[in-house]
Structure 1
Amino acid sequence: MPRREFQPGRLLAGLAFATVAALYLGDAQNLWHIPWFTALPVTTGALFLAGIANAVARAIRRQRGTTEDG
């Protein structure tokens, strides 16, 4: 099986979406109250950080001379 390169942006985005899902799941089970607009700043911030992480990872790969497939 071929190894895949580590993509930190996808990791951050996935963790953020899982966090939003967990927050709204707790709200649906009446464990706590989450305002309806909570997902907007969390996902926007996470996508911003994911973009920065991808840019940094790409710059590091270019500096090392690693080629990208795809």
Structure 2
Amino acid sequence: MLRHRFQPGRLIAGLFLAATGAVYAGDAGGLWETPWFVAVPLVVGGLCTAGAVGVLARSVHRRRGTARAHPDEPRADLPG
């Protein structure tokens, strides 16, 4: 398996989306009643939180000098 940088924003987004799925799975299973509009704050709040965490993580990686450039971007130390 190739090693990759940990991306906490994607983890947060996945957790919120999984929680939304679990809420509606419980509703479908008859464990509780869930109004249709419950998904909106869960998904939007999760995506906003994930975006903030992603921006924070990226700034920390850049400050520490551990950010990797995208493979398609030209490198500054190579000519052309």
Q: Aligning the two structures, in what range does the TM-score lie when normalised by the shorter sequence?
A: over 0.9
Partner Cα distance (1:46, 1:33) in 2: 22
Which structure 1 segments of 5+ residues have no match? none
What TM-score do the two structures reach when normalised by structure 2?
A: 0.82
Query: Is 1:9 paired with 2:9?
Result: yes
Q: Which protein is bigger by CA-based radius of gyration?
A: 2
Aligned pair count reads 70
Partner Cα distance (2:61, 2:50) in 1: 16
Which structure 2 segments of 5+ residues have no match? 71-80
SS in 1 for 2:15: helix
Root-mean-square deviation (CA), in Å?
1.0
What TM-score do the two structures reach when normalised by structure 1?
A: 0.93
Aligned-residue sequence identity (percent) comes to 49
- Which structure: greater helix fraction? 1
